[in-house]
Amino acid sequence: MTEQNRNRGAQRDTARVDVTGARKPRATQRETVPVTPRQRGGQQRTVEVRTRPKRPRTAGSVFTAGAATVGWALLVTGAPLIVAVLVPWFIAGHPGGVSDAVRAAGAAWLLGHGVPVGIGGGLIGLTPLLITALLAWRAYRAGANTARAIGARDAAAIRSVLLAVVPPYTLIAVIVAALVDGGLFHVSVPRSALHAAVFATALALLGALRESGVGRRRWTRTPVWLQRGASAGLIAALIMLAGGALAVGISLAANGKAARQMLEGYGTGAIGVGLICLLFVPTVAIWATSYLLGPGFAFGAGTRVSLVDVVLGPVPNVPLLAAFPTQPAPSYASFILGVPVVAGVILGVFLTRRSGDLRVGKLLLAALTAGLVAGAVIALACLAATGPLGTGRLAEIGPRVWLSALAAAGTVTVAAGIGTLATRALLGRDRKLR
């Protein structure tokens, strides 16, 4: 009897296996049933697998996930601010009431979103970017965690994430602004709601796009030269900002004695002043970046601080401001202007080495893209580091935004273009051009 005849007459048993209670992993579920190899002439067994259908998302589950992640973000960002305010307040002899100290923490939370806060007769609009960085991280994680909780995998789910995160985040900002406004502090509740909504939308969208994979899939559909140029531009901007932070550190170290004397002059309030200086370190680092790029920054109406010209009025007795230059840089320090150029050329070399499959025209497009991205990042950073520290003369503080952005974009574009052309001429191509 042939093998075909044996199989035709073989008995077939059907066994039902219920796996509805099996634990579902994060990705698509796959039920595996071990089956022993069929022996020659043996009985054929068919196993039927019944799976539980995927439970659809409900509005309640989406909004619950969003409320939970936003609440956790508020706890992670609010608790350190309250502690950072209460500790110096207690050391300074706890002037005023506890409610005033807690409201000060709320004012700092709003200020981190870029909301101007009135104190007494003055106005503070200069953002403490260390607080902003903490808030941005938690808003990003709120979007990512909500996307993970609801299993977001498409654009419709991304919209659900935003609807779940942005309204509660905005409501929290409205509540905080309403509690802070009055007495010593004055804030605009509508403006607080607007800033919080825009802030939460941008950061939660980035987190949801990254977690769901939608952003990565759409990014891979863009032209290769655009992807590589944008990456190079982002790296160039980060290098410039890192150079500014390094310049602040070196200047503070060189003027450490003066900064220490300023801090000691505050007595029991030195801890509070030190914490305030720490919150504004990233802000001053951006000022230094604009200084290194050439346009410089202002600290008061009619002032300017750049490599070639320094015009400063009275400066508050704050230790962080001891890093300010008091006179133009000496002629031998003019090489500082060449640092962004060297960085751009090096990026152009690496861009060409990575893009041996691109034609020269597309390489130049990538260099142009790098310059535009670098300029856009520097512009956003300079805008975030601009704002008043009072009324009158101190109402104009911060870098020259558009001049700094143009300087960054032009430097990176030209330097990266030179680097790409020189590298391609020396090394040629190593892959089929496209």
Final residue of a domain: which of 185, 219, 253? Answer: 219
In a domain, 24, yes or no: no
User: What integer pLDDT is reported at residue 27 of this predicted model?
Assistant: 44
| Residue 131 shares a structural domain with residue 276 | no
Question: 104 burial class (0-12, 13-18, 19+ CB within 10 angstroms)?
Answer: buried
Angle CA(58)–CA(63)–CA(69) in degrees, nearest 5? Answer: 130
User: What integer pLDDT is reported at residue 167 of this predicted model?
Assistant: 94
User: What integer pLDDT is reported at residue 245 of this predicted model?
Assistant: 92
| Residue 80 shares a structural domain with residue 11 | no
For residue 194, pLDDT over 80 is answered with: yes
User: What integer pLDDT is reported at residue 145 of this predicted model?
Assistant: 92
| Residue 160 shares a structural domain with residue 246 | no
In a domain, 397, yes or no: yes
User: What integer pLDDT is reported at residue 100 of this predicted model?
Assistant: 82
- Per-chain mean pLDDT for the chain: 82
Extract long-range pairs of 193-197: CB within 8 Å, 24+ residues apart: 195/110, 195/113, 195/114, 195/115, 196/113, 196/169, 196/170, 196/172, 197/166, 197/169, 197/170, 197/173
For residue 356, pLDDT over 90 is answered with: no
| Residue 213 shares a structural domain with residue 229 | no
**216-250 pLDDT, tens digit each:** 999 999 998 999 999 999 999 999 999 899 989 98
| Residue 214 shares a structural domain with residue 235 | no
CB atoms within 10 A of CB 374: 32
Per the model's pLDDT, the better-predicted residue between 64 and 35 turns out to be 64
| Residue 250 shares a structural domain with residue 150 | no
Pick the range with the lowest mean pLDDT from 225-234, 261-270, 272-281.
261-270
| Mean pLDDT value across residues 262-267 | 84
| Residue 388 shares a structural domain with residue 359 | yes
| Residue 64 shares a structural domain with residue 45 | no
| Residue 269 shares a structural domain with residue 300 | yes
Range of the domain at 236: 224-427
Indicate the number of domains in the chain.
3
| Mean pLDDT value across residues 331-337 | 68
| Residue 207 shares a structural domain with residue 237 | no
Final residue of a domain: which of 191, 219, 247? Answer: 219
Nearest residue to 109 via CA among 99, 117, 118, 119:
117
| Residue 212 shares a structural domain with residue 282 | no
In a domain, 264, yes or no: yes
- For the chain, give the percent of residues with pLDDT over 90: 37
**3-46 pLDDT, tens digit each:** 444 444 445 455 554 544 444 444 444 455 454 555 454 455 55
Final residue of a domain: which of 28, 49, 70? Answer: 49
Question: 112 burial class (0-12, 13-18, 19+ CB within 10 angstroms)?
Answer: buried
Nearest residue to 339 via CA among 222, 246, 219, 273:
246
Q: How confident is the model at residue 54 (pLDDT cuts 50, 70, 90)?
A: very low
Per the model's pLDDT, the better-predicted residue between 310 and 378 turns out to be 378
User: What integer pLDDT is reported at residue 360 of this predicted model?
Assistant: 85
| Mean pLDDT value across residues 167-193 | 92
